[in-house]
């Protein structure tokens, strides 16, 4: 699969994206590889320290390493989401029958241009804690999404 271009002319709008990272298959290696890829292909603004968390849902698997990154990209939301799935694939992600099962890397957009778009931020401390650390480190805050 061809790599998606991440750099466009300077007159293109840039977006800030808060990404939640999770891995529990060779977590240190996959975390470092994901950080290397994302920081070289996007503009890294801030990152949290990684935290270890117990699995949620399917319990018969190793603990997870979770973190968050704040990056800037010139891609639009849909293109950036596709790019993150491509990065997961590059890191050996296999999507099996157990949605909450083991994975080499899970990359989810938590907030786009300062607005929360993933309810995982409200529901799971393994998402919220690293994201809040990134917000504190970067001096950013989030607009809360209106719930219907």
pLDDT digit string, tens, across residues 49-81 = 999 998 888 788 899 999 999 999 999 999 999
Task: Identify the pLDDT of residue 116.
Answer: 95
Whether residue 113 lies inside any domain: the answer is: yes
Query: Roughly how many angstroms between the first and final C-alpha of the chain, as a whole number?
Result: 38
Whether residue 80 lies inside any domain: the answer is: yes
Question: CATH number for the domain including 33?
Answer: 3.30.70.560
Whether residue 6 lies inside any domain: the answer is: no
Average pLDDT, integer, range 8-29:
84
Number of domains in the chain: 1
Question: Whole domain around residue 81: which residue ranges?
Answer: 15-138
Whether residue 10 lies inside any domain: the answer is: no
What lies within 8 Å, CB to CB, of 58 at 6+ separation is: 98, 100, 101
């Amino acid at each position: 699969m061809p790599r998606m271009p991440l750099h466009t002319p300077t007159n293109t709008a840039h977006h800030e994206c808060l990404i939640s990272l999770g891995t529990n298959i060779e977590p240190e290696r996959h975390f470092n590889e994901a950080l290397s890829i994302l920081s070289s292909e996007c503009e890294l603004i801030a990152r949290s320290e990684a935290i270890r968390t117990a699995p949620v849902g399917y319990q018969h698997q190793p603990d997870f390493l979770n973190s968050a990154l704040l990056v800037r990209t010139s891609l639009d939301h849909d293109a950036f989401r596709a790019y993150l799935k491509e990065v997961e694939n590059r890191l050996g992600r296999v999507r099996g029958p157990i949605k909450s099962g083991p994975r080499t890397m899970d990359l989810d957009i938590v907030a786009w241009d300062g607005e929360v778009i993933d309810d995982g931020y409200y529901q799971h401390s393994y998402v919220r804690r690293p994201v809040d650390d990134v917000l504190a480190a970067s001096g950013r805050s989030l607009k809360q999404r209106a719930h219907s």
